[in-house]
């Protein structure tokens, strides 16, 4: 099962990925590190590997990034709640890019750093909802790695969407692997 993180620079993707892997907030995490975080989850008594890919946003990577998209089951399109431009860029850059390279693949619109949602000029839940509806996101979730807010909800939703998006063949294969 493959889930990718995309979104503007510094919105908190790597911090989220690190939290997913280690279950604790690490503000010293190396922000340059692109990585694949792996976790085995149980589904109906079968083990499934959930792979979270942290796709770098560096412009240099614009040409190579699409190669990382292959075989994705679900996308987390991220922006930072304290940065309206990053929300705007989901609609102008990130969602069009995944619709181009991953047509029909479901995505969640994710507002990271939700601990900053009451700061001046931050994104409101209503603004996020409008973007999510306009671009047909499966859902939209505010979360904070700092406060560990909605992190479980975010990944359990992503896993559920991935499962629904698996072809029967893949699921059979995974189940057979356990025997």
Ligand X SMILES: Nc1nc2c(ncn2[C@@H]2O[C@H](COP(=O)(O)OP(=O)(O)OP(=O)(O)O)[C@@H](O)[C@H]2O)c(=O)[nH]1
The single residue among 109, 123, 145, 161 that binds ligand X, judged by CB under 6 A, is 145
Residues in the chain: 179
Applying CB under 6 A, among 1, 13, 135, 155 the residue interacting with ligand X is 13
Part in contact with ligand X (CB under 6 A); list of ranges 98-106, 108-116, 134-142, 159-167: 108-116
Hey, which residues does 42 pair with through a beta bridge? Answer: 47
Strand ranges, E, within the chain:
2-7, 36-43, 46-54, 74-80, 107-112, 139-142
> Do the beta carbons of residue 10 and residue 80 sit within 8 Å?
yes
Q: Is residue 86 close enough to count as binding ligand X by CB under 6 A? A: no
Smallest separation (angstroms) from Mg ion to the CB of 76 = 13
Position 152 contacts ligand X (CB under 6 A) = no
**E strand or H helix that includes residue 108:** strand 107-112
CB of 34 to Mg ion, least distance (A): 7
How many whole angstroms separate alpha carbon 12 and alpha carbon 18?
10
Task: In angstroms, give the least distance from the CB of 177 to ligand X.
Answer: 32
**Residues in contact with ligand X by the rule CB under 6 A:** 9-15, 27, 31, 56-57, 112-113, 115-116, 144-146
């Amino acid at each position: 099962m493959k889930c990718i993180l995309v979104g503007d620079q510094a919105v908190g993707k790597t911090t989220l990925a690190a939290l997913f892997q280690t279950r604790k907030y690490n503000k010293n995490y190396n922000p340059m590190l692109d990585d694949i975080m792996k976790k085995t989850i149980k589904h109906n008594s079968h083990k499934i590997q959930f792979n979270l890919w942290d796709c770098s946003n560096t412009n240099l990577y614009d040409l190579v990034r699409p190669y990382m998209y292959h075989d994705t089951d679900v996308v987390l399109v991220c922006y930072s709640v304290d940065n309206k431009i990053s929300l705007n860029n989901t609609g102008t850059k990130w969602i069009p890019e995944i619709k181009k390279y991953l047509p029909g693949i479901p995505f969640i619109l994710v507002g990271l750093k939700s601990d900053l949602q009451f700061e001046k000029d931050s994104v409101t839940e209503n603004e996020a909802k409008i973007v999510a509806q306009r671009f047909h996101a499966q859902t939209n979730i505010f979360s904070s790695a700092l406060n560990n807010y909605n992190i479980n909800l975010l990944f359990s939703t992503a896993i559920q969407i991935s499962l629904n998006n698996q072809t029967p063949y893949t699921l059979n294969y995974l189940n057979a692997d356990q025997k």
